[in-house]
Amino acid sequence: MAYSMTGIGRAGGEIKKPPIKFDVEIKSYNHRFLEISIKIPNSLLPFEDEIRKSIQKRVSRGHIIVIVQQDREILPCKVEVDRPLLDAYLKLVEELQKKYTVSGTIDVNTLLAIPGLIKFSQYQTESQDIFKAFQPILEKSLKSFLAMKKKEGDNIAHEIKNSANKIEDNIHTIETLIPERNEFYKKHLVDLVEGYETNLDKDRFYQELLYTVDRSDVTEECKRLHSHLSLFRDSLNNDAHPGRRLNFLLQEMQREANTLSVKANYLDISTAVVCIKEEIEKIREQVQNIE
């Protein structure tokens, strides 16, 4: 089951108490690891970790961006004074007046202008109620997001499967060409031996012939390619997040294809190997988009 690493999902909804409309957008881009960026209003800040965890349960890779907007600010229910800051401020004023004989008085407006002196916040119980009402909206946007990733992933998987079929066809082509290639070289060597005018050390000749045949045998490479291809298809169809495994199997397939290229020694086999490499490269580009 392949999911694309790119996708976008949106959802909106309104909670009743207090009456607020939320709009949620989740989008993702290719990334080697999982990275989540969250931009949410103050009313949901205490629950950023919970939002992050809900995404981590469903997504394994990609740069995920979550943006939550609300149609109006929630009036704070809790007002607090930073008393240590106020005490320090008043103490400093008193010291300045004594040391430098500074005159003047401090009024309420001056105190209220001190940055950070007055703190506004929601009561924890109200924040929890807001988040609880918000969760269905978040879930709806996640489902929309995952549905698009799945649809795009299905399209990518379809293209990958086409390339995998072409690779398999070319492996079969190579396997059918091996006897033809062997017969060609056998005839070629016989013609060379028959045309050889001087004495020929047949024992040495056959040793060299066997050595050459062994070095050009591609049976094992074809078997391993079949095996890698079978594992590749199984992972693509059944793994929840196959991206990393598919990359590894592609590396193994590329290695076998390179060995085939060296051992080919026959134009038609070399042509089939080139086709295999082309399809592996196409798959590699597609796999970069799979989670």
pLDDT tens readout for residues 15-71: 887 888 999 999 999 998 999 999 998 888 889 999 999 999 999 999 999 999 998
CA dihedral 126, 130, 131, 137 (to 10 degrees): 170
CATH fold for domain 7-74+123-149: Ribosomal Protein S5; domain 2 (3.30.230)
What's the burial of 187, exposed, middle or buried (CB within 10 Å: 0-12/13-18/19+)? exposed
Residue 18 has what pLDDT? 80
Residue 113 has what pLDDT? 84
Residues 6+ apart with CB under 8 A from 23: 10, 11, 12, 68, 69, 70
Residues 6+ apart with CB under 8 A from 238: 1
CA distances from 244 to 3, 31, 197, 251, 289 (A): 12, 12, 60, 11, 11
Residue 157 has what pLDDT? 93
CA angle 249, 252, 253 (to 5 degrees): 90
Residue 209 has what pLDDT? 65
Q: Where in the chain is the domain with CATH 3.30.230?
A: 7-74+123-149
pLDDT tens digits, residue range 183-206?
777 777 777 676 665 666 666 666
Q: Which pTM value belongs to this model? A: 0.70
Parts of the chain with a pLDDT under 50: none
Task: Centre a 10 Å sphere on the Cβ of residue 138 and count the other Cβ atoms it contains.
Answer: 24
Q: Supply φ then ψ for residue 118, to 5 degrees.
A: -100, 130
